[in-house]
């Protein structure tokens, strides 16, 4: 992804604006500080902070090599990978066949000059080997299934690493609403814990962006939120006033910003600090 530049009164605020626009957590972005405010008289600051940011590039998934058939031999392992589906009874309804993957070539970060810590981390990530897709799917689905059993829920959990490098974990069942919570906060917490579990098992290897969903509620919420934002933005334009939204997570704020960007005569900005950071829509 290309670098995007942001300005604010402080470096911290500029970084927050960047995360709003990119719609990612801080661990999935890298920053470069271009300019910092200068100290002036009586403790005042002069100038603005300028940073540039982008979503951390991830190493491309290695191409899957199809095993050669052996003449006269019995059938070996499957060349593809199957979706991992695990029920709370602990039985796997589909097997996950892992393939041998060639190690991705390491990139040499030989550029000079000052670099921020975030960019150094991005360079190190590009040099990592990749955790096999089947292993990622198994780790994520087994953890969520075990958690479901521990709290007495009967659920079906499936995990799949998509072509976009998203490790999508889907939960279905009769009482899965317990995993959602107000404003998806429980679901977001479960997603973050699952990400840490996969990260721990991955070690120094690269892994997909973990997305945990319950009965498609994330897409349903995205559609409903976008519709609400369009109605509110139009009201702000018609009344000529600014309207604040309730505090939201960074991914939800991105949905709001993206939706308002498509509306003529309206613009948006983020205000406040986490966890009370919110989007304000106003006439352009």
Return the closest-CA partner of residue 51 out of 114, 5, 120: 5
- The confidence score (pLDDT) of residue 134 equals 95
Separation CA 53–CA 11 (nearest Å): 12
Element (H, E) at 271: strand 266-271
Question: What residues of the chain score a pLDDT lower than 50?
Answer: 69, 71-115, 123, 125
Could you give the CA distance from residue 143 to residue 48 in angstroms, rounded to a whole number? 45
What pLDDT is recorded for position 6? 81
Question: In order of start, what are the domains of the chain with their CATH numbers?
Answer: 4-55 (no CATH), 84-95+128-215 (3.30.300.20), 220-283 (3.30.1370.50)
pLDDT of residue 219: 87
Q: Tell me, what's the pLDDT at 232? A: 95
List, for residues 67-91, the tens digit of each pLDDT value.
Answer: 554 544 444 444 444 444 444 444 4
Q: What pLDDT, on a 0 to 100 scale, did the predictor assign at position 28?
A: 77
Its pTM stands at: 0.51
Separation CA 76–CA 116 (nearest Å): 48
Residue 176 confidence (pLDDT): 87
Strand partners, 283: 266
Q: Are strands 266-271 and 243-244 parallel, antiparallel or unpaired?
A: unpaired
Residues 104, 130: contact at Cβ < 8 Å?
A: yes
156: three-class secondary structure by DSSP = strand
pLDDT at site 144: 95
């Amino acid at each position: 992804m290309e670098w995007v530049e942001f300005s604010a009164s402080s470096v911290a605020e500029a970084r927050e604006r960047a995360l709003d626009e990119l719609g990612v957590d801080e661990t999935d972005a890298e920053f470069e500080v271009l300019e910092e405010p200068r100290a002036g008289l009586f403790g005042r600051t002069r100038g603005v902070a300028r940073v540039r940011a982008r979503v951390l590039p991830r190493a491309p998934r290695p191409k899957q090599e199809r095993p050669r058939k052996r003449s006269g031999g019995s059938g070996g392992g499957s060349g593809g990978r199957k979706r991992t589906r695990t029920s709370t009874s602990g039985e796997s309804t589909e097997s996950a066949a892992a393939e041998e993957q060639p190690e991705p070539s390491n990139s040499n970060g030989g550029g000079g000059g000052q670099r921020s810590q975030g960019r150094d981390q991005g360079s190190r990530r590009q040099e990592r080997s990749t955790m096999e897709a089947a292993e990622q799917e198994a780790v994520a689905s087994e953890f969520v299934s075990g958690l479901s059993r521990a709290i007495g829920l009967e659920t079906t959990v499936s995990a799949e690493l998509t072509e976009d490098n998203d490790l999508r974990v889907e939960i279905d069942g009769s009482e899965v609403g317990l995993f959602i919570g107000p404003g998806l906060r429980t679901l977001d917490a479960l997603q973050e814990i699952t990400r840490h579990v996969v990260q721990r098992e991955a070690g120094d290897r690269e892994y997909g962006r973990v997305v945990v969903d319950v009965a498609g509620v994330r897409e349903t919420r995205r559609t409903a939120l976008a519709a609400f934002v369009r109605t509110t933005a139009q009201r702000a334009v018609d009344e000529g006033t600014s309207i604040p939204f309730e505090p939201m997570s960074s991914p939800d704020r991105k949905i709001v910003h993206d939706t308002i960007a498509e509306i003529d005569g309206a613009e948006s900005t983020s205000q406040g600090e986490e966890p009370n950071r919110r989007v304000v829509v106003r006439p352009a």
